[in-house]
Structure 1
Amino acid sequence: MQNLATLIRDLNQMVLDGNAMEAFEKYYDIDVIMQENEQQPTIGKEANRQREIEFFNNIVEFRGAAALYVAVGDGVTMVVWHYDYTHMEWGARNYTQVSVQHWKNGKIIKEQFFYGN
């Protein structure tokens, strides 16, 4: 579990340092599945890369992010994030989200985000 603790700590720090896309390239598997709540998952690194780029391109003001809690289990990590930003389409967003990552061979193979509307 120590290895996953090190990996998620590094990934989170990259995000907090403003290097989310670099973290994506480093830690996400080529066949990664990413899912928002219970919506249809996005499958594959290329499709998820485009989704992430679109998200970041629509941020008009970023006020902050914090990794509040981190849990590490057998092949899984969970991070409770707090975000505060303004999105071009969604307006002001200030919320807490749980991100659950499933790992294999040092890469995230599935990530699901849980948050309220």
Structure 2
Amino acid sequence: MPSRKRVDQFIQAVVHGDHADAIKNFYHVDATMQENREPPRRGRDNLIAHEKRAMDRLQEMKTHPPETVLVDGDHVMIMWTFDATDKNGVTRRLNEISHQIWSADGIMKERFVYDSATAWQVLEQG
């Protein structure tokens, strides 16, 4: 079960843009990550590589401080807002809920839930 302090440290790493490092420092080696109903990605090294590829496609990723964070035993839910600016200067927004299952002080399983009809709507044209 994670402490609230540990969860807050994870959130700060993500808000400060250290997405791949957050995976390295807060996920178990055999962790999984799942987008909506897609098959989960498996293994911390694979998760880090996927995140780096995603970030490399962007000019900038702004992670807003979460609106809501719930910690209940090993379950953590975070309401995130991300603004991604691509290499053409187009900024899109994603609002999602992350449901994490922690083991000790690390994330074992994470699932992202969002409305795919409104995901990544354009905020600003480049």
Coarse TM-score class (shorter-chain normalised): 0.7 to 0.9
| Aligned-residue offset at 1:111 | 0.5
Matched, 1:17 2:5: no
8 Å CA contact 1:66, 1:83 repeated in 2: no
Matched residue type, 1:74: G
User: Whole-Å Cα distance in 2 between the matches of residues 45 and 62 of structure 1?
Assistant: 21
8 Å CA contact 1:42, 1:48 repeated in 2: yes
Cα RMSD of the aligned pairs, angstroms, is 1.9
8 Å CA contact 1:80, 1:96 repeated in 2: yes
Matched residue type, 1:59: L
| Aligned-residue offset at 1:95 | 2.5
Aligned to 2:5: 6
- Structure with the bigger percentage of helix: 1
Instruction: Please say which of residues 107-116 and 57-66 is displaced more in the overlay.
Output: 57-66
Which runs of 5 or more structure 2 residues have no equivalent in the other structure? 117-126
Which runs of 5 or more structure 1 residues have no equivalent in the other structure? none
Higher radius of gyration, 1 or 2? 2
Aligned to 2:124: none
Matched residue type, 2:106: K
8 Å CA contact 2:97, 2:113 repeated in 1: yes
Deviation per residue, 1:82-117 (Å, 9 max, x gap): 1112245xx632121101110002110000101112
User: Whole-Å Cα distance in 1 between the matches of residues 79 and 49 of structure 2?
Assistant: 24
8 Å CA contact 1:67, 1:81 repeated in 2: yes
Matched, 1:59 2:58: yes
Structure 2 SS opposite 1:35: strand
User: Whole-Å Cα distance in 1 between the matches of residues 94 and 8 of structure 2?
Assistant: 21
User: Whole-Å Cα distance in 1 between the matches of residues 63 and 76 of structure 2?
Assistant: 22
Aligned to 2:30: 31
Deviation per residue, 1:57-84 (Å, 9 max, x gap): 1112335523111000120101001111
Q: Counterparts in 2 of 1:1-117, with a 5 A limit? A: 3-87=2-86, 92-117=91-116
8 Å CA contact 1:69, 1:79 repeated in 2: yes
